[in-house]
Amino acid sequence: FTWQELENLVCGVADVDVEFLHSRTKYVGGVKMTDSHIKFFWEVLVNDFTPEDRTQFLRFVWGRERMSTAEEGNTFIIGPHLRARDSGDPDKWLPVAHTCFFSLDLPPYTSRDVMKERLQFAITNCSVIDGDQTAESASNMNMSLALS
């Protein structure tokens, strides 16, 4: 190993390798790789997010700033956001991350622009982990965005 290869194995790569993340993604709960909102999601990560945004995204969904390039583990899970799906207006909801499980409940947003806006808001404003069992968290579970 070179020192750079060892650093990447131990610390992870500084920028999130979206292609690697995509290859390590499992879809659950009826979500499919071919769903339009999943396509929007990957397009936003690749084309619209900066390396800093991708790092914030990783911190949002996993509580870490770097992702190991090791093939074992690191399975990213994308599932349905049930409240958004059942609400009739998924664009009002924010994605929900489960850092302990490296998973994301992703609303079926209706456009790439909405996906980018909601993801950007979530990764910027929802950076506290281990807050699942608080009164504020319980209150936030029923929150949707008021669109003007």
Q: Are 66 and 11 in contact (CB under 8 A)?
A: yes
Distances (CA, A) of 107 to 36, 52, 69, 113, 141: 11, 23, 28, 13, 13
The residue with tokens 């209706």 is 110
Q: Determine contact, residues 30/23, Cβ cutoff 8 Å.
A: no
Residues tagged active-site: 100
| Tokens coding 94 | 């924010």
Single out the residue of 122, 108, 145, 90 nearest to residue 27, CA to CA.
108
Torsion of CA 85, 88, 94, 95, to 10 degrees: 10
